[in-house]
Amino acid sequence: MGRKVKCVLLGTEEDGMDYVPYPGDLGQRIYENVSQQAWQRWIAHQTILMNEYRLTPIEPKAREFLEAEMEKFFFGEGSSMPEEFVAED
């Protein structure tokens, strides 16, 4: 049985991650407070952000933007979808 966390995104006790998914203090906060399911939601959202804004994660400004959005997604007011984004049916 894996470890459980009280997920800040879902508001319920869920399976926690097996490893710290991101470096630094933010990664540690995510590890302690975000479930595997919520992390997968972030990965999907991050992919949309990267595609819509044509971000390259190797660029420092892109990494800064994604980290700020990750912080908002889990611990802030939430990360918005790009205005131009249209979901596929």
Domain boundaries, the chain: 4-75
Comparison of pLDDT for 87 and 59, the residue scoring more = 59
Q: Which two structure tokens, joined as six digits, stand for 56?
A: 């390259």
Comparison of pLDDT for 80 and 19, the residue scoring more = 19
Is the pLDDT confidence value at 89 over 60?
A: no
User: Containing H/E element for 4?
Assistant: strand 4-6
Is the pLDDT confidence value at 85 over 70?
A: no
Chain segment 3-15, per-residue pLDDT in tens: 999 999 999 999 9
Amino acid 52 reads E
Reduced to 3 states (helix: H, G, I; strand: E, B; else coil), residue 88 is: coil
Amino acid 82 reads P
pTM over the 0.75 mark: yes
Per DSSP, 79 falls in state: P
Average pLDDT over every residue of 72-78: 90
Which of the listed CATH numbers 3.40.50.12780, 1.10.3880.10, 1.20.210.10, 2.40.50.100 matches domain 4-75?
A: 1.10.3880.10
Q: Which of 82, 83, 52, 49 is nearest to 64 (CA)?
A: 49
